[in-house]
């Protein structure tokens, strides 16, 4: 028992080094080395050739589509996430715990199932809601709205789970003070609440962004994977890889990995500075 309570630094050197080696080896074998290989393979023919691969019309369209989908999905999740977080932390209502539990469903349910569920509801032939929408002129499944919905769904909890603990921690006294000083609800939100949770929002957005760019399973089912139309970047990776166009596959993979890594690094670099000042 006494052993377990001692601070980690008191552990004998072999234990400390042993733990470090395990951690480093684990991360290298599982994350760093495979990711590095993607970049190495993508760049093997040279940077110019890699960029040429990305300029292929079908690939470029897929990347465009991914950007569009990601922008919509992140904006929707940001607006929805802020609203739901405020609702969960600042208000009491019946069914609050149920709502909170439901918000975690996207984390536990496989994206493929999500895709299938959306198809069942919104498909134009025998969907529960799809034919009505299609008669009104909106095609959801096999089209951009469906892909956005699938992406929003899988990235749904990320913004909320970042904001909720911070909102709870800062409490509502600052907001009450703002109200007593003459600020209305909107002014209080922009001047007091939002600056207080700024970094949680940024972090949530980055996580949602990375998740949205990388979503595959749900999107594959919902989009129909039509080349040059509803095919996203992750779907290009799979298809080109299976069609023996590995070079294109590596190039797109490297791009996807790079965007996610850069956004995480930028936030990690910015965030501690804010705390020190």
Partner 1 sequence: MSIHVDGVSKRFGDFVALDDVSVDLPTGQLTALLGPSGGGKSTLLRIIAGLETADTGTVTIEGREATHLPPQKRNVGFVFQHYAAFKHMSVAKNVAFGLEIRHRPKTEVKKRVAELLELVHLDQFAHRLPSQLSGGQRQRMALARALAVEPSVLLLDEPFGALDAKVRKELREWLRRLHDEVHVTSVFVTHDQEEALEVADEIVVINEGRVEQVGTPDQLYDAPATDFVMGFLGPVTRLGGAQVRPHDIEVSTDPGQPGAVPGRVVRLLRVGFEVRLWVETAPSEEPVSVTVTRAHQRQLALGEGSAVWLSPTSDATRVDAVV
Which parts of 195-214 interact with partner 1 (CB under 8 A)? 195-196, 198
**180 lines the binding site for partner 1 (CB under 8 A):** yes
**183 binds partner 1 per the rule CB under 8 A:** yes
Cβ-based neighbours of 123, under 8 Å, separated by 6 or more:
130, 141
Binding map of partner 1 across residues 116-155, x = CB under 8 A, - = no contact: ----------------------------------------
125 or 184, CB closer to partner 1? 184
Q: Contact 125/43 with Cβ under 8 angstroms?
A: no
Binding residue (CB under 8 A) for partner 1 from 83, 176, 242, 243: 176
State the angle between helix axes of 47-55 and 246-276 in degrees (0 to 180), rounded to the nearest 10. 100
CB of 80: closest distance to partner 1 in angstroms? 24
Compute the least distance from the CB of residue 59 to partner 1, in Å.
Answer: 43
Cβ nearer to partner 1, comparing 147 with 197? 197
Closest to 231 in 3D by CA, of 73, 60, 55: 60
Which of 21, 177, 262, 265 binds partner 1 (CB under 8 A)? It is: 177
Which parts of the chain are beta strand (E)?
none
Question: H or E element: which one contains 202?
Answer: helix 194-214
The minimum distance between CB 178 and partner 1, in angstroms, equals 7
DSSP 8-state class, residue 230 = T
Residue 66 contacts residue 234 (beta carbons within 8 Å) = yes
User: How big is the site for partner 1, counted in residues (CB under 8 A)?
Assistant: 19
Residue 276 to residues 58, 116, 273, Cα–Cα distance (Å): 47, 47, 5
- What are the residues binding partner 1 (CB under 8 A)? 170, 173-174, 176-184, 187, 191-192, 195-196, 198, 277
């Amino acid at each position: 028992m006494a052993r377990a309570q001692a601070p980690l630094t008191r552990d004998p050197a072999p234990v400390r080094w042993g733990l470090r080696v395990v951690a480093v080896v684990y991360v290298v074998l599982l994350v760093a080395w495979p990711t590095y290989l993607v970049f190495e393979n993508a760049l093997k023919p040279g940077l110019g050739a890699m960029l040429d691969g990305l300029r292929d019309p079908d690939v470029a369209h897929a990347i465009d589509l991914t950007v569009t989908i990601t922008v919509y999905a992140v904006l929707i999740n940001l607006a929805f996430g802020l609203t739901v977080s405020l609702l969960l932390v600042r208000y009491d209502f019946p069914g609050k715990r149920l709502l909170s539990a439901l918000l975690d469903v996207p984390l536990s349910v496989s994206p493929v199932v999500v895709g299938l569920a959306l198809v069942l509801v919104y498909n134009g032939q025998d969907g529960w809601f799809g034919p009505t929408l299609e008669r009104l002129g909106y095609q959801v499944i096999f089209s951009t709205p469906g892909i956005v919905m699938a992406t929003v769904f899988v990235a749904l909890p990320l913004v909320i789970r970042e904001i909720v603990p911070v909102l709870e921690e800062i409490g509502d006294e600052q907001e009450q003070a703002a109200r007593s000083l003459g600020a209305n609800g909107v002014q209080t939100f922009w001047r007091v609440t939002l600056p207080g949770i700024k970094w949680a929002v940024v972090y949530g957005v980055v996580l949602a962004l990375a998740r949205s760019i990388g979503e595959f399973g749900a999107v594959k089912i919902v989009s129909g994977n039509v080349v040059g139309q509803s095919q996203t970047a992750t779907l290009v990776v799979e298809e080109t890889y299976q069609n023996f166009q590995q070079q294109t596959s590596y190039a797109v993979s490297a791009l996807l990995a790079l965007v996610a890594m850069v956004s995480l690094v930028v936030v990690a670099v910015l965030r501690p500075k804010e705390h020190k000042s």
